Chain A
Amino acid sequence: MTFGISMLVVFLALIGFAAFADNINPPSGMQQIDPTKVSQTPPFDKPGLHRLPDGSYEAYYVAQVFRFNPATLTIPIGSKVTFYVTSADVVHGFFVPGTDLNMMAIPGWVNQETHVFRKPGEYLVICHEYCGIDHQDMFAKIEVSQ
Chain B
Amino acid sequence: MTPPETQVRNENRVVIAHIYTATAAIALGAVFGVFQGFARTSVFGAPTWFDYYRILTMHGVLMALVFTTFFITGLSLFVTYRSIPRERRLAVAWFGWSLMLLGTAMAALTILHGDATVLYTFYAPLKASPWFYIGATLLVLGTWVVAFEIFENVIFFRKSHPGQPIPLVVFCATATFVMWIVATLGVVAEMGLLIPWAFGWTPGINVMLTRMFFWYFGHPLVYFWIMGAYIIWYNIIPTRYGGNVFSDGLTRLTFVMLILLSTPVGIHHEFMDPGISSTWKMLHTVLTYGVAIPSFITAFAIFASFELVAIKQGRRGFIATVKGLPWSDPPFSGAALGMLLFILGGFGGLVNASYSMDSVVHNTIWIVGHFHVTVGGPVALTFLGAAYWMIPRLTGRALWKPEWALFQTRLWFFGMLIMSLSMHYAGLLGAPRRTAEVGYMGANVANTWEPFMLLAAAGGFFLFVSILTFVAVAVGTLLQNAKTESMEATFATPAEPAAATPALLQHVFRWGALALVLAVLAYAGPLGELLRHPGYLAPGMRTW
Residue positions of A touching B, CB distance < 8 A:
1, 4-5, 8, 11-12, 15-16, 18-19, 24-36, 65, 89-91, 93, 95-98, 100-104, 106-112, 122-124, 126-133, 135-136, 139
For the complex, count residues of B whose C-beta is within 8 A of A: 68
Min CB distance, A98 to chain B, in Å?
5
Given contacts A15-B356, A29-B275, A104-B273, whether A126 and B286 have CB atoms under 8 Å apart is: no
Cross-chain contact A28 with B125 (CB below 8 angstroms) = no
Q: Compute how far the CA of A96 lies from the CA of B364 in the bound complex, rounded to whole angstroms.
A: 11
Please indicate the chain A residues that have their CB under 8 angstroms from the CB of B270 in the complex.
104
The 4 closest A-B pairs by CB, nearest first: A97-B430, A132-B543, A128-B432, A29-B274
Nearest-CB residue, chain A, relative to B446: A124
Stretch of B5-13, B289-297, B476-484 contacting A (4+ beta carbons < 8 Å)? B289-297
B386 at the interface (CB under 8 A from A): no
- Kindly report which residue of chain B lies nearest to residue A27, judged by CB atoms: B272
| Cα distance A27–B273 in the bound complex, in angstroms | 7
Which of A15, A107, A110 contacts B285 (CB under 8 A)? A15
> Does B362 count as interface, using CB distance less than 8 angstroms?
yes
| Contacts A12-B286, A18-B356 given; does A110 touch B274 at CB 8 Å | yes
Contacts of A33 in B (CB 8 A): 536
Interface of chain B, main secondary structure = loop
Known: A19-B355, A32-B535. 15 other contacts (CB 8 A): A1-B297, A26-B355, A26-B358, A28-B278, A30-B275, A89-B538, A95-B430, A96-B430, A102-B360, A108-B538, A111-B274, A122-B443, A129-B123, A130-B435, A132-B126
Type the 1/0 row for B41-72, where 1 means its CB is closer than 8 Å to any CB of A: 00000000000010010000000000000000
A9 to B350, CA, bound (A): 12
**CB under 8 Å from chain A, chain B span 267-285:** 270-278, 281-282, 285
Q: Which A residues touch B124, using CB under 8 A? A: 91
Given contacts A5-B296, A130-B119, contact A28 B539 (CB under 8 A): no
Contact B126 A90 (CB under 8 A): yes
**A124→B445 contact, CB < 8 A:** yes
Which one of B126, B360, B539 lies within 8 Å of A100 (CB-CB)? B360
Q: Which residue of A lies closest to B292 (CB)?
A: A8
From the candidates A102, A109, A122, name the one contacting B275 in the complex (CB within 8 A): A109
Q: Smallest CB–CB gap between B164 and chain A, Å?
A: 30
Contacts of B358 in A (CB 8 A): 26
Chain A residues positioned under 8 Å from B433 (CB to CB) = 128
Contact B289 A11 (CB under 8 A): yes
Interface string of B13-50 (1 = CB under 8 A from A): 00000000000000000000000000000000000000
* Contact indicator A128/B275 (Cβ below 8 Å): no
Per-residue CB contact flags for chain B residues 110-150 toward chain A (1 = under 8 Å, else 0) read 00000001010001111000000000000000000000000
Chain B contacts with A in 206-255, Cβ cutoff 8 A: 206-208, 211
**A93 and B432: CB pair below 8 A?**
yes
B272 touches A102 (CB 8 A): yes
Tell yes or no: B300 within 8 A of A by CB. yes
Bound CA–CA A132/B54 (angstroms):
10
Q: What residues on B are CB-neighbors of A104 within 8 Å?
A: 270, 272-274
B438 within 8 A of A: yes
Tally of contacts, chain A with chain B, CB under 8 A: 192
- Return A2 CB to nearest CB of chain B, in Å: 9
> Is the beta-carbon distance between A12 and B285 smaller than 8 angstroms?
yes
Q: Which residues of B contact A (CB under 8 A)?
A: 53, 56, 117, 119, 123-126, 206-208, 211, 270-278, 281-282, 285-286, 289, 292-293, 296-297, 299-300, 350, 354-360, 362-364, 429-438, 440, 443-446, 533, 535-541, 543-544
Interchain CB contact under 8 A, B53 and A133: yes
Least distance between B193 CB and chain A CB atoms (Å): 14
B543–A108 CB distance below 8 A: no
Chain B positions within 8 Å of A130 at CB level: 53, 56, 119, 123, 434-435
Alpha-carbon distance between A93 and B296 when the two chains are bound, in angstroms: 34
Contacts of B273 in A (CB 8 A): 28, 104, 106, 111
Query: Which partner residue on chain A sits nearest B285 by CB separation?
Result: A15
Contact between chains at B350 and A26 (CB < 8 Å): no
B285: which A residues are within 8 A, CB to CB? 12, 15
Chain B residues within an 8 Å CB radius of A111: 272-274
Given A12-B285, A108-B207, A108-B536: A28 in contact with B274 (beta carbons within 8 A): yes
A102 cross-chain contacts in B, Cβ below 8 A = 272, 359-360, 362-363
Cα–Cα, bound, A112→B278 (Å): 13
Kindly state the separation between the CA atoms of A95 and B429 in the bound complex, as whole angstroms: 12
A41 CB → nearest B CB, Å: 11
Whole-angstrom distance between the alpha carbons of A101 and B360 in the complex? 8
Whether B543 pairs with A128 at a CB distance below 8 angstroms is no
Q: Which residue of A lies closest to B365 (CB)?
A: A128
Residues of B within 8 A of A133 (CB): 53, 117, 543-544
Interface pairs (11), CB distance under 8 Å = A27-B359, A30-B277, A90-B123, A97-B430, A97-B432, A97-B445, A98-B429, A108-B535, A110-B274, A111-B273, A128-B362
A15 touches B354 (CB 8 A): yes
Determine if A15 and B357 form an interchain contact, defined as CB atoms under 8 angstroms apart.
yes
Can you name the residue of chain A whose Cβ is closest to the Cβ of B57? A130
Known interface pairs A1-B296, A95-B363; A132-B544 also in contact (CB < 8 Å): yes
